[in-house]
Structure 1
Amino acid sequence: MIREFVDRETERALLEEEWEKDGGRLIILYGRRRIGKTRLVTEFIRGKEGILHFAEDTAPQIQIRRLQEAVARFFADPLLASLELATWDQLFTYLAGKNLPERRYLVIDEFTYLIKNDPTILSALQKAWDTALAESNWCILLSGSMLGLMTDAALSYTSPLYGRRTRDMLLGALRFADARKLLPAFSFQDALKVHLTIGGIPEYLLKAGDYADYAGFVEREFWSRYGYFYREPSFLLAQEFRELKTYQAILNAVAVGNTAPGAIAQFCGMDARHLYPYLEAMTRLGIIEKELPLLGSKRQGLYRIRDSLFDFWYNFVFSRRQAIETENHPADAVDLNPYFGKQFEVFVRSEFARSFLPGYTVGRWWYRGEEIDLVAVREEGGNIVFGECKWGNLTEQKTRGVLTRLVKKAEQVRHERYPHERFCLVAGGIEGKDRLREDGFLVYDIEDIEAACTAE
């Protein structure tokens, strides 16, 4: 069954723009596995003519032969099909020699498999591009999931393709307003829980969409050794890195709260000086990120797991694998609320805040044990907003208590550049919202988040 194709309007528009331009086009599309690259490409080439080739991780000679067969079929060239080509150079020379009267595409999906097994493909493509393809009617799109290899081999300044590509696109996750469209049977709150657990990865969301609620999804796909997500993070890491145990130890350290480099190194039994290459590698791939406090010292950087699936998995699955393997893991024994609270903060800052703080720079603040979940500034007008995020439901009395403590904490952050202050609370449910708003507070709960998402 073909599922609904959600969002990606910006990406589709960019690809169409490339298609309509004159001369050869060389597009590099990359992003993590399951992000929807193949589906995007399929939608882009619909109604167009060309060659779509799915590369496989096999010997170079087999790879050359399979692409050769695809090219021969497209041009109905039995002579090409019968030749024994030994190099990529021969194949790209053939393509460069074709005088196309109209625009045609050559899409190579999982191009990184070809680079991995024979890097000379890059030089061969460069040569063909410089001699003929750049002025041709070919629209070449190279797609890849091995982010490290794609970045180093196809995008870096040392790559033979450097300066040749006409567009590169890093495909990111869906925002929640779009992601929830793939979860039509879920309540709004359960859909948000799914998003906080696996992020906006289309294939993951489609898997979750097979279930009626969040509890059933997690029990079958995380708490089972046959679950779709039981080994997924390990598989993704193994595809990118060799020292799997070290990367897993670091991710486990960060997941359980060791966010400063020294604490991470101590948890892993490493010298802190040896830690940074691992952190940088995972940061480059979007698995983790370094956070700096807004309006705070730039030397106070902390690390967090940026990828929701990795954060959830290393919080709850990594340390429970033996119990899951022996089918001795009671699903109701796991308290997920602290995790949801942490991820809810991130969601509010990264997605929901744009609905009520347009034009603001949004972050958070911390110093010596004190923390403010949300700090947002707007230079024009000198505005600043301080906010707290709570996953659960709050009475009006508790809400006022949280806001009173927030006003007190804000005294440590006040800045003369931002004389106009407001205070905010976002929670699962808030009693007395109207009265709190009459008092000047910005208060929002799940009802307001749902309304904002529906309006997008």
Structure 2
Amino acid sequence: MVRFINRTYEMALLSEEWAKKGARFFVIYGRRRIGKTRLIEEFMKGKNGLFYVAEDTNKAVQIRELKEKFAGFFKDDLLKRLDIANWGDFFAYLEKIVPRAERFYIAIDEFSFIVKNDKGFASAIQKFWDSFLSKTNAFLLVSGSLFGVMSEDVLSSSSPLYGRRTRDMRLRELRFRHSCEFLDMPAEEKVKVYMAIGGIPEYLLRAKDYKGADEFFKKEFISRDGYFYREPQYLLSRELKEIKTYFTILNAIAYGNTRPTDIANFAGIGTREIYPYLEALEEFGFIERSVPITGDKKSGIYVIRDAMFDFWFNFVFKNKEYIEREQAKIEKTDLNAYFGKRFEFFIRDDVLPGLLPEARIGRWWYKDTEIDLVALEEEKAFFFECKWSDLKESEARGILAALREKAKFVGIKDNKAEIFGLFAKKIEGKEKLLKEGFMAFDLEDALK
């Protein structure tokens, strides 16, 4: 088994809840491939309890499988032989055999499959919790990958389980410094892979045996047998009902339609009708709404946030015909253009939070003027450009001079001190720029 990487915060949160007295109800949710099952397995080590991974099957099968799990754990032959047809009878029997004082866990992974296939399950387990389990020392842990089901039927105020959970946690992507630990390749190649698939553990495992990004992209993306060739359709089909509509919206954004009206026109949907779709995709983390860090918050645009979706629409969807004929290739200029776009995300999410932990970070634009990243502290304003290229000193100075001019239009108040910076793959004369008061970081600095 591959070693368990990071999740220090999540393990601490689970351990903190486990240490508390009395019954606990912990909910873990998040997108598929994010590592929920592995997290639960690591947390359960050395603890007493039972672990059930639900399948996307019918109620009768799920009752039978759970019945066998509990019968095996409690060594109850009668439960194993009993013919139980509904959840009410199942939980009623559990009240007879579950100990009240003993600390043990009941972990149900893919909980959302059970709820999806039987809406009555949430009410049944709520009654079991209220009437019995909440009065014991049990640790009920449920997790689910179907984000919509978990949000609506487990976490929302309309759910029978609302108010019962003692803690919930959304499992998110690993950041770059931990994602690196999966990969055995040069530092720049790690950044390229990360900018193509993000910090999804399952995706990183697919890349771990490759020595470079190009080979990984060729075999896993632009191949008919590649792992990622059909991955977006699979993810959307598991989460959403109107797959074609959501797919078209993502394609519209990938093609550069970033405003709701333009996205709606591309997708053939009314402008008013487009918003629920956008909100759902944003909730799943596939897209994000970006607004200028200062200025009009109404002038927001939508961009693809998920790295794998972004890479896929840029290099797989557009080349499907060639991939099927085994003639596809990724042009270096197109790849560099893609990395140039994603480099800004990388700096925003993985580098600047470490350099400026107290700053509010975002993009800024007005009409035709754009600044890649602006970071605002109480007394300072930082302006940055991000370039996925090797810069000569003269080029770096030109970019910084232009940045200083653009910053005049941002409208920073409170007389903040203004500091200008540049991120690039490599910067010639970096030390000179640093001595002159600029912030200049190349890839080597960013990876420290």
Is contact 1:4–1:182 with CA below 8 Å preserved after alignment? no
Per the alignment, residue 443 of structure 2 pairs with 446
- Once the two structures are superposed, residues 287-336 of structure 1 have per-residue CA deviations (whole angstroms, 9 ceiling, x without a partner) of 11111110121111110111111111112211211211121213447721
Is contact 1:252–1:315 with CA below 8 Å preserved after alignment? no
**383, 391, 395: which is aligned to 1:394?**
391
Per the alignment, residue 424 of structure 2 pairs with 427
Is contact 1:30–1:169 with CA below 8 Å preserved after alignment? yes
What TM-score do the two structures reach when normalised by structure 2? Answer: 0.98
Whole-Å separation in 2 of the counterparts to 1:370 and 1:224: 39
Whole-Å separation in 2 of the counterparts to 1:96 and 1:367: 63
Per the alignment, residue 82 of structure 2 pairs with 83
Q: Secondary structure at the match of 1:56?
A: coil
Between 1:333-342 and 1:271-280, the stretch displaced more is 333-342
Per the alignment, residue 454 of structure 1 pairs with none
Cα deviation, residue 418, structure 1: 4.0
Whole-Å separation in 1 of the counterparts to 2:333 and 2:92: 59
Per the alignment, residue 137 of structure 1 pairs with 137
1:29 equivalent to 2:38? Answer no
Whole-Å separation in 2 of the counterparts to 1:199 and 1:401: 32
Is contact 1:377–1:418 with CA below 8 Å preserved after alignment? no
**382, 387, 408: which is aligned to 1:385?**
382
Structure-to-structure mapping, 1:200-279, within 5 angstroms? 200-279=199-278
> Which residue identity is paired with 1:395?
K
Q: Secondary structure at the match of 1:242?
A: coil
Per the alignment, residue 160 of structure 2 pairs with 160
1:170 equivalent to 2:167? Answer no
Whole-Å separation in 1 of the counterparts to 2:287 and 2:242: 17
Cα deviation, residue 419, structure 1: 2.5
Is contact 1:427–1:444 with CA below 8 Å preserved after alignment? yes
Per the alignment, residue 181 of structure 1 pairs with 181
Structure-to-structure mapping, 1:30-45, within 5 angstroms? 30-45=29-44
**398, 406, 413: which is aligned to 1:416?**
413
What TM-score do the two structures reach when normalised by structure 1? Answer: 0.96
Per the alignment, residue 113 of structure 2 pairs with 113
Mark the CA change 1:398 to 1:334 in structure 2 (over 3 Å): closer, same or farther: closer
Whole-Å separation in 2 of the counterparts to 1:418 and 1:156: 44
Q: Secondary structure at the match of 1:248?
A: helix
Whole-Å separation in 2 of the counterparts to 1:398 and 1:333: 22
- Once the two structures are superposed, residues 250-309 of structure 1 have per-residue CA deviations (whole angstroms, 9 ceiling, x without a partner) of 111111211111121222233212211110111111111111110121111110111111
Q: Secondary structure at the match of 1:162?
A: coil
Cα deviation, residue 96, structure 1: 3.1
Per the alignment, residue 68 of structure 2 pairs with 69
> Which residue identity is paired with 2:192?
K
- Structure 2: 5+ residue stretches without partners: none
Computed over aligned residues only, the root mean square deviation of the Cα atoms, in angstroms, reads: 1.2
Between 1:410-419 and 1:72-81, the stretch displaced more is 410-419
- Once the two structures are superposed, residues 123-163 of structure 1 have per-residue CA deviations (whole angstroms, 9 ceiling, x without a partner) of 11111111111121211111100001110000000001100
- Structure 1: 5+ residue stretches without partners: 452-456
Between 1:166-175 and 1:312-321, the stretch displaced more is 312-321
Is contact 1:384–1:418 with CA below 8 Å preserved after alignment? no
Per the alignment, residue 372 of structure 1 pairs with 371
The aligned length equals: 447
Is contact 1:58–1:117 with CA below 8 Å preserved after alignment? yes
Mark the CA change 1:334 to 1:439 in structure 2 (over 3 Å): closer, same or farther: closer
Whole-Å separation in 1 of the counterparts to 2:418 and 2:329: 47
Is contact 1:383–1:420 with CA below 8 Å preserved after alignment? yes
Q: Secondary structure at the match of 1:48?
A: coil
Aligned-residue sequence identity (percent) comes to 49
Whole-Å separation in 1 of the counterparts to 2:368 and 2:386: 17
Between 1:255-264 and 1:438-447, the stretch displaced more is 255-264
- Once the two structures are superposed, residues 206-265 of structure 1 have per-residue CA deviations (whole angstroms, 9 ceiling, x without a partner) of 110021111111100001010000001110001111221211111111112111111212
